[in-house]
Amino acid sequence: MDLISFSSIEAAIQYEQANGRALQVEITVDGATKKAYEGEWLVDAIVREKAIHVCYHPRLGPIKTCDTCLVDVNGELKRACATAVSAGMNVVTESDAIHKVQLEAMDIILGNHELYCTVCDNNRGGERDFVH
């Protein structure tokens, strides 16, 4: 048997899906049962329903810096971008406590950035090279 190296969990899951071996499990998100792939990042499983993140992109993997994707997993606050799905998870994405920590995270992000994007050192004249 050949060992195959993957650059990310996503790549490994895609390989397993393509070969019919990815294990689908059920998790609960906001009281509703959802299907997810065991081992995929929780943010990927949730984002199929709603977008709840700022810094995460599947090609980059978890950066774990913005905390806007915090959710309650089995009674604990976890970053959805860096929490792997497992069978029987109970995930809550909306509650007063979660809303509060997500707002605090966004306040921290905005507190560290001037909102003058046209003069920011990271702005390249509005021209962006997006990869699709």
In tens, the pLDDT along 69-127 reads: 889 999 999 998 889 999 999 999 889 999 899 889 888 887 766 666 666 666 555 44
Question: What's the rounded Cα separation, in Å, for the pair 53 and 35?
Answer: 20
% of the chain exceeding 90 in pLDDT: 14
For residue 3, give both structure tokens: 């060992």
What integer pLDDT is reported at residue 13 of this predicted model?
65
12-62 pLDDT, tens digit each: 667 666 766 668 889 998 898 888 888 888 888 877 656 567 777 777 777
The answer to the question of residue 13 being in a domain is: no
The answer to the question of residue 68 being in a domain is: yes
The answer to the question of residue 14 being in a domain is: no
H/E segment holding residue 18: helix 9-18
Give SS3 for 22: coil
The answer to the question of residue 124 being in a domain is: no
b (16+ CB within 10 A) / e for 102-113: beebeeeeeeee
Q: In which domain, by residue range, is 91 found?
A: 23-119
The answer to the question of residue 79 being in a domain is: yes
The answer to the question of residue 6 being in a domain is: no
What integer pLDDT is reported at residue 110 of this predicted model?
79
The answer to the question of residue 33 being in a domain is: yes
Instruction: Note the pTM of the prediction, 2 decimals.
Output: 0.58
**What's the total number of domains in the chain?**
1
